[in-house]
Amino acid sequence: MKPEENKEEHVPESQPVYPTLNEADPPPYPGLLPSRPASPGGIVLYQVTPERVVTPIALASTVIVDQPLGPTPSTLICRSCHQETTTRVRRNPTIRTHLMAILLCVFGLWFCACLPYCADTCLNLDHYCTNCDAYLGTYRN
C-alpha cells in the first residue's frame, strides 16, 4: 500500500462538511415532471414550464380635488386627516393692510388707522382643518 492511499483527510470539527457534487442529486421541485428519461450517466433532466397565475388586485384610491376657498368657512375633505370637515378661518393682516393704515396716518386720519385691520377686504383668510389643525389654504381679497 502506498502511504498516500491510506491517508484520510482530516477536517476540524468546527468546519462544516459539504457533500461533493457527485454524491447525490437534489430532489426535484414539487409539481415538475421529468420530460425525458434518465440519461446514461444517471442524470435526470427536467423541463420547467412556467405557470401563469393571475391574481386580481383591487386598487382603491381617493382623489382630493382642491376646492376654491371663500371668505366663509367651507366644507371639504382635509388632505391631512382625510375627514370631511368645515374649515376654521383665521384672519391675517398683509402688507396691503399695513400700507393702508400708514396712508391713513399720513393724511391725518390717524384715528381711522385701525379700520384696515377690522375690514375683511384688507385681510387674508387662512383656512384650517377643525380636526387636525392642518393648513388647507388661503383666500386672498
Percent of the chain with pLDDT strictly greater than 70:
52
Domain-embedded: residue 6: no
Which burial class, exposed, middle or buried, applies to 27 when counting CB atoms under 10 A from its CB (0-12, 13-18, 19+)? exposed
pTM for this structure?
0.50
Domain-embedded: residue 52: yes
- The reported pLDDT for the residue numbered 80 is 87
Domain-embedded: residue 134: yes
- The reported pLDDT for the residue numbered 79 is 85
For 83, the domain range is 31-139
Number of domains in the chain: 1
Domain-embedded: residue 15: no
> Averaged over 28-50, what is the pLDDT?
57
Domain-embedded: residue 9: no
pLDDT digits (tens, 9 = 90+) for 84-98: 889 999 999 999 999
Domain-embedded: residue 10: no
